[in-house]
Homo-oligomer: A and B are copies of this chain.
Amino acid sequence: MKRPTLIDVGREAGVSAITVSRALREPEKVSKALRDRISKAIDKLGYVPNPAAASLASNRSSIIAVLVPSFSNNVFSDVLSGTNAVLEKTGYSIQIANTGYNPIAEEGMIRKFVSLSPAGVIIAGVDQTAASRKMLKDVDCPVVQIMDITDDPVDVIVGFSNFDAAATSVEHMVAQGYRRIAFVGTRMDPRTQQRMAGYEAVMRKHQLYDASLFITTPQKSSVEIGRHLLAGLLDKVPDCDGVFCNNDDVAVGIALECQRRNLAVPEAFGICGFNDLGTTSQMNPAITSVYTPRVEIGERAAQYIIDRNAGHPKPEVRNIDLGFTLKVRASTLRTGTG
């Protein structure tokens, strides 16, 4: 009743264990006849490899470590969907950890993951601690940073410029005649801060910058928090005529609060969200948002790991910018021209 091993399979097929091992890992190095015999023996005995033994002997595992800052965030579930879709037909498995936007916690998680000899690491952002970065440099597997872009990735980065995405959005709002545009930011993680910087750059460029237009909170984003933030914003800045939000949930909350207050969107007040998670496009009026290629980022990250482990060389371009798309909708369209 005990679980069969390679030796058992080998005995059944009349070959040695190592041949079975080869038939599984490098079938082209084993003759067709043997492959067939071995495969029958495997089925007959119900053999399933022991990954712990494989990992111990070879000093590498089939585990891809994924470090995200939050589970309850559609952004990262989309990334994970993409990664999973690419990986599920392969032998890799996904082990995840939630860093909770905490670089120190992240460091510990990286240390633990490194001890697994992972087949790859996918990690959100570029703001790792020095120690984290060193571990990621030293680990003997592909490492993909995601959701951001930089000239100096640990290995490779797949993402987009949060700064540019924000700047593009705010430029659009300015072009639509909005002047007193607030920045509404929740949680204020590094990527949100980059969006804030993009907002600020454009506002300064147009001499519209005003420190009182920043509305931020360390709380996580939600529709509810969006509603509350709008109330606070209108108290503080009564002549505010629009918002750029770091997140779609907040934008939806603000839109719903505008409905309640009969604040005319887009005429009196413009709203722009971020990520284009799906609800924004359905609102009345539809909300402008920045589409970000989350699923594709997850897919590309996984594919990179597969390719490198299959022997592909490290590519020359190590920052893969997948861009973003400003989805202009009614909530910021005053001129009718886009």
Contacts and interface: CB of A to CB of B under 8 A. Distances in A.
Interface of A: 48-53, 55-56, 61, 63, 71-74, 77-78, 80-81, 84, 88, 93-98, 111-112, 114-117, 222-224, 227, 249, 252-253, 256, 259-260, 278-279, 281-284
Nearest to A283: B256
Contacts of A74: 72, 74
Given A95-B93, A284-B259, A278 B222 contact: yes
B56 A53 contact: yes
A72 B79 CA distance: 9
A92 to B, nearest CB: 11
Contacts of A115: 48-51
A48 B135 CA distance: 13
B95 A88 contact: no
13 contacts: A49-B115, A51-B52, A52-B52, A52-B53, A71-B80, A71-B84, A77-B77, A81-B98, A94-B95, A227-B282, A252-B282, A256-B283, A260-B284
Nearest to A60: B52
A61 B52 contact: yes
A73 B77 contact: yes
A242 B102 CA distance: 45
Given A95-B93, A95-B94, A56 B50 contact: yes
A78 B278 CA distance: 19
A270 to B, nearest CB: 20
A238 B335 CA distance: 38
A134 B73 CA distance: 35
A95 B95 contact: yes
A151 B217 CA distance: 46
A95 B97 CA distance: 9
B93 A98 contact: no
Given A72-B77, A84-B71, A96-B94, A117 B281 contact: no
A104 to B, nearest CB: 13
Contacts of A223: 278-279, 282
A74 B70 CA distance: 12
A98 B84 contact: yes
Contacts of A222: 278
Nearest to A83: B71
Contact of A97 (B55, B93, B227): B93
Contacts of A253: 282
Nearest to A47: B115
B81 A71 contact: yes
A52 B55 CA distance: 6
A256 B278 contact: no
A73 to B, nearest CB: 7
